[in-house]
Amino acid sequence: MAQIIDGKLVSKKILENLSDEILFLAQKPCLAVIIVGNDSASKIYVNLKKKKALELGIESIVVEMPETVSQEELLEKIEQLNNDKKVNAILVQLPLPQHIDTKIILEKITPLKDVDCFHPYNTGHIAAGTKPYVYPCTPKGIIRLLEYYNIPVEGKHAVVIGRSNIVGRPLAQMLLNENATVTICHSRTKNLEEITKTADILISAVGQRNLIKANMVKDDVVVIDVGMNRTEDNKLCGDVDFYNVEKKASFITPVPGGVGPMTICSLMQNTFDLYKLQNKNQVT
């Protein structure tokens, strides 16, 4: 039976330390979140972020814009937040409506406030193996989980399924920077099972329930499940057939309670880190 990687516990510990550090600041870090339209899932995520920020003493500004907002208006709003000295971190909740070019919007956020690490300045640093201002929230959370459980990465074969800019691609590069041997799989990968069977660390970031079955993994694999899906009775589940894969793995993340809490934890940590970078002289 695998040891469960408890993202709730790890994130709680990290956030307790963070909250202590924030307590002594005269001026609080500030996270601005822009949400466009009425997508109910996006609203839930934004409310969770707002609630967590409040708990920690991080100020949050939620900018709500209508579905019909023009690209120009959105760019203007980001420019305003870029220039607002009080705002330390800017997050644009995705997805954006079809008429808006997400790439142009994300590149408008100044790299020093780019809390989810989408700007080419920051992604370029990750790709080059040098330091961005902050690392993207979900991959950062996964690396911290591996560190917390003393799971060695160097020299291991890490297989990352998914190549999105928010999870798979940066995570693969970060694991490479930690000296893993990395294979990236995606929807065009042939014989996925042949590749997953060779993984020492298997990370699935696809969004497909039961994609990873027990016959696709080797004994003692470390499994990180990023996927967020729903069962028939609307319960949250990941990409991995947890019940059967757990029997073969050495470590495994549950869904919920694995990667999810670490993502929001990294968002808070990143907001604080950007605050520190922007106030180098005031913060010891």
CA-to-CA distance for 129 and 271, rounded, in angstroms? 22
Active site residue 200: no
Q: By CB under 6 A, is residue 46 in contact with ligand NAP? A: no
Q: Nearest distance from residue 28's CB to ligand NAP, in Å?
A: 25
Number of residues counted as binding ligand NAP (CB under 6 A): 25
Q: Specify the stretch interacting with ligand NAP by CB under 6 A; choose among 12-20, 83-91, 148-156, 158-166.
A: 158-166
**Catalytic member of 49, 77, 140, 248:** 49
Q: What is the 3-state secondary structure (H, E, C) of 132-154?
A: CCCCCHHHHHHHHHHHHCCCCCC
Cα-to-chain-centroid distance, residue 185: 19
Q: By CB under 6 A, is residue 187 in contact with ligand NAP? A: yes
Binding residue for ligand NAP, selected from 61, 65, 192, 277, defined by CB under 6 A:
192
Binding residue for ligand NAP, selected from 19, 71, 164, 183, defined by CB under 6 A:
164
What is the 3-state composition of the chain as percent helix, strand, coil, each rounded to the nearest 5? 40, 15, 40
Q: By CB under 6 A, is residue 42 in contact with ligand NAP? A: no
Q: By CB under 6 A, is residue 252 in contact with ligand NAP? A: no
In terms of phi and psi (left: phi > 0; alpha: psi -120 to 50; beta: otherwise), the region of 207 is: left
> Could you count the other beta carbons within 10 Å of the beta carbon of residue 154?
9
Which residue, 165 or 250, has its beta carbon nearer to ligand NAP? 165
Query: What is the β-pairing status of strands 89-92 and 30-36?
Result: parallel
* Residues across the chain: 284
Which residue, 87 or 225, has its beta carbon nearer to ligand NAP? 225
> Could you count the other beta carbons within 10 Å of the beta carbon of residue 156?
18
Q: By CB under 6 A, is residue 170 in contact with ligand NAP? A: no
Q: By CB under 6 A, is residue 140 in contact with ligand NAP? A: no
Nearest to 258 by CA among 182, 192, 204, 183: 204
Active site residue 3: no
Q: Nearest distance from residue 150's CB to ligand NAP, in Å?
A: 22
Beta strands in the chain (DSSP E): 3-4, 30-36, 59-65, 89-92, 157-161, 181-185, 201-204, 222-225, 229-230, 236-237, 251-252
194-233 residues near ligand NAP, rule: CB under 6 A = 205-208, 226-229
Active site residue 208: no
261-280 residues near ligand NAP, rule: CB under 6 A = 263
Which residue, 210 or 229, has its beta carbon nearer to ligand NAP? 229
Say which residue the tokens 């979140």 belong to. Answer: 33
- Phi and psi at 235, nearest 5°, equal -90, 150
Which residue, 198 or 229, has its beta carbon nearer to ligand NAP? 229
Q: Which residue ranges make up the site for ligand NAP (CB under 6 A)?
A: 138, 161-164, 166-168, 185-189, 192, 205-208, 226-229, 259-260, 263
Residues annotated as catalytic (active site), given as ranges: 49, 93, 116
